[in-house]
Amino acid sequence: MKIILTGATGFVGEGVLLECLNDERVEKVLSIGRKACGHTHPKLEEYLVPDLMQIAEGDPRLEGYDALFFCAGISSVGMTEEQYRPIAYTIPMHLAQVLPQKERTTYIFVSGAGTGSTGQMWSKVKLQTENELQQLGFKQVFNFRPALMKPTEGQLHVKVMDRINSWLYPLVKLVGGGNSLVQVGQAMLNAVERGYDKTAIEVRDISKLSKK
CATH code (residue 10): 3.40.50.720
Lowest-pLDDT choice from 79-88, 103-112, 173-182: 173-182
- Predicted TM-score of the model (pTM): 0.93
pLDDT of 157 reads 82
**For 123-175, what is each residue's pLDDT tens digit?**
999 999 999 999 999 999 999 999 989 888 888 888 767 766 676 666 666 66
pLDDT at 39: 96
14, 172, 208 from 211: Cα distances, Å: 20, 19, 6
- pLDDT of 164 reads 65
DSSP letter for each residue of 91-154: HHHHHHHH-S-GGG-EEEEE--TTTTTS--HHHHHHHHHHHHHTTS--SEEEEE---EEEPPTT
Residue 85's pLDDT is 96
The parent domain of residue 53 ranges over: 2-209
CB atoms closer than 10 angstroms to residue 71: 25
**In the structure, what pLDDT confidence band is assigned to residue 24 with cuts at 50, 70 and 90?**
very high
pLDDT of residue 102: 96
